[in-house]
Structure 1
Amino acid sequence: MVTPSDASTDADVDRGAALRLSRPSVRFTPVRRWVVRTVSELHAVRGEVRDEVTHGARGGGDPQLDQVADDAALIATELVTNAIRHGRPPVLVLLLRDDARFLLSVGDRARGSAPRLAGTRPAGKGGFGLHIVRRLSRDLGWFRTGAAKVVWAEVGPARFTGRHGLPG
């Protein structure tokens, strides 16, 4: 059960809070994977994530999944960009599914420090990708494996209760 204390708060923005160290709580089934080496490869991944969420697992479009597909594409963009800029490419991107929920998992070979939400910054300085992901996702976290750091985000339609109290 998710409680209000589980969710990141606006105060976390000022502290540059680390993401929650955890693994996804629901068992997901693999749908697709990509290996990304440069930011220029993101356009194709973004489109393919959107297509897989909208059409892939059900064999046809589900209108409720249109917004989820857009959110998933943006989340993939932000997580992969962070992994390429702050990690060590190549980056492994996994899209997984459990009913109408999807999990994006992005791993790179930089096992070092925990991913952190950007602190307060002047406009135009960037660094707010994880804030975007936090707002769009139902759950968000990270973990280490033997060789990688993995950041993951769960998305799904509004009928599922979101971790951050926002519709998916």
Structure 2
Amino acid sequence: MDQQLVTSPPPPDATELHVWILNNSTELKHLRAALREALTRQELTMDEHGSEIADCMVLVATELATNAIKHGRPPTEIRLMRTEERFILDVADRDLSKIPELAHTRPIDAGGRGLKLAMDMSLQVGWYAGPTTKHIWAAFARRGS
């Protein structure tokens, strides 16, 4: 069964922990290091497969931010949030003219695999539009199962 992209904001009880602003892809290396550092300050444990939740979050953040930089309008904002049970990554760009598309709905050479990767590596992925920004978010367990 194919996972669906949820059309809604992230959980309303999510508390913002950190925000990064990127203007181009050269800043992705800084994002990866800063996100990993921010996650080490949180209660983070290993998941049931023995890989760190942080590794998945850094990869998904990189993929979603790359998509926003490549296909959106700068600046790109990446927010790390948390609820009691989950971490939330929220990536925003300023191109309201395009809605997120899953790769299987596009030609094979058109790209778009980052959203599929996010869906495969997270608990849930959603998107919503604000007055000036389009957001894609992904939720991750705060503790391994």
TM-score scaled by length of structure 1: 0.74
Residues 114-168 of structure 1, C-alpha deviation per residue, up to 9 Å, x if partnerless? Answer: 101113626xx74311111110011101101110101111111442xxxxxxxxx
- In the alignment, is residue 152 of structure 1 matched against residue 134 of structure 2? no
> How far apart are residue 107 of structure 1 and its match?
0.7
CA contact (8 A) 2:45 2:144 kept: no
Please list, as runs of the form range in 1=range in 2, the aligned pairs for 1:95-114 lying within 5 A after superposition.
Answer: 95-114=80-99
Consecutive aligned runs of 4 or more in structure 1 exceeding 3 Å deviation? none
Tell me the equivalent position of 1:70.
Answer: 55
Please list, as runs of the form range in 1=range in 2, the aligned pairs for 1:123-142 lying within 5 A after superposition.
Answer: 126-142=111-127
Please list, as runs of the form range in 1=range in 2, the aligned pairs for 1:23-34 lying within 5 A after superposition.
Answer: 23-25=9-11, 27-34=13-20
**Helix, strand or coil: the match of 1:99?**
coil
- In the alignment, is residue 42 of structure 1 matched against residue 28 of structure 2? yes
Larger Rg: 1
Give the number of the structure whose residues are more often strand, by fraction.
2
Identity among equivalent positions (%) equals 33
Unpaired segments of 5 or more residues in structure 2?
none
Letter paired with 1:71: C
Letter paired with 2:108: R
CA contact (8 A) 2:45 2:53 kept: no
